[in-house]
């Protein structure tokens, strides 16, 4: 069952934002200083234009003085352009720097989470957060944050200038704010939850689409195309409604802002005209104030439009920072196992509450023993493997390694003691050497090649550049069978005490699989091996065989003992050899 990753609340978002900004105090100071200087340079042009008008009106203007002031207007405009360029550059650099830290913090925390937490969250939620949410925050840092920061500073500087020239016109400039506030408050009250719902809907849609695509052959084989289509349409419908909710918010806020912020210019023109006619203000000062007020309109409208980006980014930021609330894997080694004996005592487990997959498993595996788990699909074999490896914890009962609960072992101790190898595999983009060195950083080429040879990956020596051959995306394409052999070679390099093989050779053809299993068995001689077998020949070679059915171990013994018992295992063996 998929469990959504947590989302940070408003208080946590505020604290994290303040913390991020406090660590970037130098950059913040520089961008504020440059923006203030750019805004100050923008005041010069209208002010000097007002001086020119007053000189003309008073009859004191001369060609030389007018030319000098006009040259100063041009110089101020050029200076404003230059300062604005560097202010935007500083803000963009700040945004990219913060975005890098956010991405690194998110990925670092995800990598430090227990495997079971990451797996239960689903690929859709993680993928959406690390891609769409990071992109949304990045867009805001590059666009909304610079836009709002510069707009606020420009408005403040212009407002101070207008108020200093004439307080009444300063009040006119403020006219739009109380009128737009109700619409802005209404929007802010609803936007966070709306955008969080949109992010969750996108995660669900991606999760469902990915599952359908990855299981395409299974979908076709079972003939459930229509069911998957209905699931996809349902998820897309939820996403569509969530995005319509965001659109509804914007269709209220934007028209109100665009209409309301026209009023300050109109009011300043009307009141200023009356003051001029009554001798309360000179024409030059009036023109200067009107130009200042007019310059405030675009930043005001821009802020309300950028608020939408900022709120959307705030929701994405909350989803990114929510991961910080999850517990990290403990680095405390804690109690160390006394030996490699594995015990399952009264183990029960359910992926969905109330529907137990395991219904009371009792099992003891001796150090160095080879145990095969067999049974029908869905019986609980893979679940037992996951519990043994610590990828999941039982709902009740105990899974012990050397007398210590597996869930209490540190990741380092657990990886040294038990390794789970499934039919799922991954080849990272890089060289073959790098893909193998993940398991043993200090291994030399001889050790790496020996590990490949032990799993019959003789093709590796024939690659164009040997171990230096690029594999994965953009490199040498490794078919599933070869990728699975790379995964098995990693196990050899890890050299664990216990190996849990969950159909680890299922992608190999029967002949290659049989040969690989024998080679691997020789390499793992003396280690505990628990093989979840889909080929009964694996069970034949094991020291003991456990038959799992309906969440219980129904038979346990050697191959010969179970055949003599003439029970479920004997029936499986007869069916395997076609003797029934």
- Spatial contact of 535 and 521, defined as CB atoms under 8 Å apart: no
Whole-Å CA distances, 577 to 286, 359, 537, 573:
101, 31, 10, 6
Please give the backbone phi and psi of residue 548, each rounded to the nearest 5 degrees, phi first: -105, 130
pLDDT at 122: 61
Burial letters 213-249, b for 16+ CB under 10 A, else e: eeeeeebeeeeeeeebeebeeebeebbeebbebbeeb
pLDDT at 119: 64
pLDDT at 50: 75
Helix then strand then coil, % of the chain, to nearest 5: 65, 10, 20
Q: For the beta carbon of residue 43, count every other beta carbon within 10 angstroms.
A: 21
pLDDT at 169: 84
pLDDT at 272: 84
Quick one: which of 8, 3, 1, 6 has its CA closest to 314?
Answer: 8
C-alpha–C-alpha distance, residues 509 and 481, integer Å: 8
C-alpha–C-alpha distance, residues 43 and 41, integer Å: 5
Beta-bridge mates of residue 364: 343
**Which CATH architecture best describes the domain 342-577?**
3-Layer(aba) Sandwich (3.40)
- Spatial contact of 514 and 355, defined as CB atoms under 8 Å apart: no
Residues 6+ apart with CB under 8 A from 51: 69, 284
pLDDT at 580: 46
pLDDT at 285: 83
pLDDT at 126: 73
C-alpha–C-alpha distance, residues 490 and 428, integer Å: 13
pTM exceeds 0.95 for this model: no
Give the pairing type, strands 355-365 and 342-352: antiparallel
All structural domains of the chain with their residue ranges: 16-325, 342-577
Residues 201-230: pLDDT tens digits? Answer: 887 787 777 777 766 766 676 677 788 788
pLDDT at 3: 62
Burial class (CB in 10 A: 0-12, 13-18, 19+), 355: exposed
Q: Is 510 left (phi over 0), alpha (psi -120 to 50) or beta?
A: alpha
Q: What are the DSSP E strand ranges found in 243-354? A: 342-352
pLDDT at 90: 80
Give the pairing type, strands 544-549 and 552-557: antiparallel
Burial class (CB in 10 A: 0-12, 13-18, 19+), 420: buried
The fold for domain 16-325 equals ABC transporter transmembrane region fold (1.20.1560)
The stretches in the chain having pLDDT less than 70 are 1-4, 112-124, 146, 214-215, 217-219, 221-222, 327-334, 424, 504-523, 577-580
pLDDT at 517: 67
């Amino acid at each position: 069952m998929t469990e959504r990753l947590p989302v940070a609340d408003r208080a946590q978002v505020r604290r994290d934002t303040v913390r991020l900004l406090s660590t970037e105090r130098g950059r913040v100071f520089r961008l504020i200083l440059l923006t203030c200087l750019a805004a100050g340079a923008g005041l010069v042009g209208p002010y000097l234009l007002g001086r020119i008008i007053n000189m003309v009106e008073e009859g004191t203007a001369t060609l030389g003085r007018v030319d000098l002031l006009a040259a100063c207007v041009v110089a101020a405009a050029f200076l404003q352009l230059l300062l604005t360029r560097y202010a935007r550059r500083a803000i963009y650099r700040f945004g990219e720097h913060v975005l890098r830290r956010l991405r690194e913090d998110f990925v670092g925390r995800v990598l430090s989470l227990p495997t079971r937490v990451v797996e239960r969250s689903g690929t859709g939620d993680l993928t959406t957060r690390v891609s769409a949410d990071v992109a949304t925050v990045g867009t805001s840092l590059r666009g909304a944050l610079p836009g709002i920061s510069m707009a606020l500073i420009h408005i403040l500087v212009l407002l101070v200038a207008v108020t200093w020239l004439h307080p009444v016109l300063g009040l006119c400039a403020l006219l739009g704010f109380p009128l737009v506030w109700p619409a802005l408050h209404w929007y802010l009250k609803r936007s966070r939850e709306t955008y969080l719902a949109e992010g969750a809907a996108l995660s669900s849609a991606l999760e469902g689409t990915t599952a359908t695509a990855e299981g395409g052959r299974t979908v076709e084989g079972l003939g459930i195309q229509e069911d998957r289509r209905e699931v996809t349409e349902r998820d897309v419908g939820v996403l569509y409604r969530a995005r319509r909710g965001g659109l509804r918010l914007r269709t209220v806020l934007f028209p109100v802002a665009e209409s309301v912020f026209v009023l300050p210019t109109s009011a300043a023109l009307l009141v200023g005209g009356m003051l001029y006619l009554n001798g309360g203000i000179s024409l030059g000062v009036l023109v200067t104030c009107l130009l200042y007020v007019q310059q405030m309109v675009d930043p005001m409208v821009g802020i309300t439009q950028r608020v939408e980006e900022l709120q959307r980014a705030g929701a994405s930021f909350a989803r990114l920072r929510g991961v910080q609330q999850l517990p990290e894997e403990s680095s405390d080694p804690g109690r160390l196992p006394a030996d490699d004996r594995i015990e399952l005592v009264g183990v029960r487990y359910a992926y969905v509450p109330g529907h137990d997959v395991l219904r009371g498993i009792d099992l003891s595996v001796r150090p160095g023993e080879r145990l095969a788990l067999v049974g029908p699909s869905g019986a609980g074999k893979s679940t037992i493997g996951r519990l043994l490896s610590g990828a999941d914890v039982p709902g009740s009962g105990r899974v012990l390694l050397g007398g210590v609960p597996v869930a209490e072992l540190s990741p380092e101790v657990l990886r040294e003691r038990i390794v789970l190898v499934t039919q799922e595999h991954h080849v990272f983009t890089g060289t073959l050497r790098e893909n193998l060195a993940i398991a043993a950083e200090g291994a030399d080429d001889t050790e790496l090649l020996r590990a490949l040879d032990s799993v019959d990956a003789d093709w590796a020596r024939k690659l164009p550049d040997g171990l230096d051959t690029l594999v994965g995306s953009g490199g040498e394409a490794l078919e599933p069978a070869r990728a699975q052999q790379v995964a098995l070679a990693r196990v050899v390099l890890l050299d664990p005490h216990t190996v849990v093989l969950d159909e680890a050779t299922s992608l190999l053809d029967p002949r290659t699989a049989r040969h690989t299993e024998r080679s691997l068995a020789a390499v793992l001689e003396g280690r505990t091996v628990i093989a979840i077998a889909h080929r009964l020949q694996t069970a034949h070679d094991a020291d003991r065989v456990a038959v799992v059915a309906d969440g219980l171990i129904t038979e346990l013994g050697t191959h010969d003992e179970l055949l003599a018992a003439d029970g479920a295992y004997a029936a499986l063996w007869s069916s395997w050899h076609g003797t029934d």
